[in-house]
């Protein structure tokens, strides 16, 4: 997933598109630590760090979230509206968790969503494939990386 994500990020930046990351807010006082949230599998300080190979550039936006969806309780919607964005190209993980929650919320908020198949992952192949299939039929276009990159190069 890392190499395809690097290619997607490079293509988006070359096309002049805004790049937005989301990651878990793991501060000790974050709302995600309230009892209403399920116990995390890991409580390590860097569990939600963005991989160094995919590190944001200075002009990129990083949204810190406290639940599965990158929209819930974050300023993401305000940023997207302010930028005049109507469609999203997404990747990340897990396919059945955070990615799916964000895709559903994006669709519910009126965005056209494209999932880049090679740029997302899950704990097991079956979860990954079933969720991609389901989201493709309900919420988003599912596209191959090469097709998305070719489209971005034409912008």
Alpha-carbon span 23 to 110, nearest angstrom? 22
CA 90 to chain centre: 5
Question: Assign residue 142 a region: left if phi > 0, alpha if psi is -120 to 50, beta otherwise?
Answer: beta
Backbone angles phi, psi at 32, to 5 degrees: -60, -15
State both tokens at 127: 């979860």
Return the SS3 of 12.
Answer: helix
Catalytic amino acids? 98
């Amino acid at each position: 997933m890392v190499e395809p994500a690097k290619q997607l990020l490079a293509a988006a930046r070359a096309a002049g598109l805004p790049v937005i990351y989301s990651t878990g807010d793991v501060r000790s006082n974050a709302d995600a630590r309230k009892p209403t949230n399920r116990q995390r599998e890991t409580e390590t300080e860097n569990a939600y760090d963005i991989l160094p190979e995919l590190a944001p550039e200075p002009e990129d936006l990083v949204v810190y979230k406290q639940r599965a969806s990158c929209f819930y309780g974050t300023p993401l919607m305000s940023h997207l509206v302010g930028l005049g964005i109507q469609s999203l190209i997404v990747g990340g993980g897990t396919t059945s968790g955070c990615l799916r929650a964000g895709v559903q919320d994006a669709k519910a908020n009126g965005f056209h969503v494209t999932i880049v198949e090679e740029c997302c992952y899950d704990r097991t192949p079956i979860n990954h494939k079933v969720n991609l299939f389901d989201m493709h039929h309900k919420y988003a276009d599912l596209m191959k990386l090469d097709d998305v990159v070719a489209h971005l190069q034409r912008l």
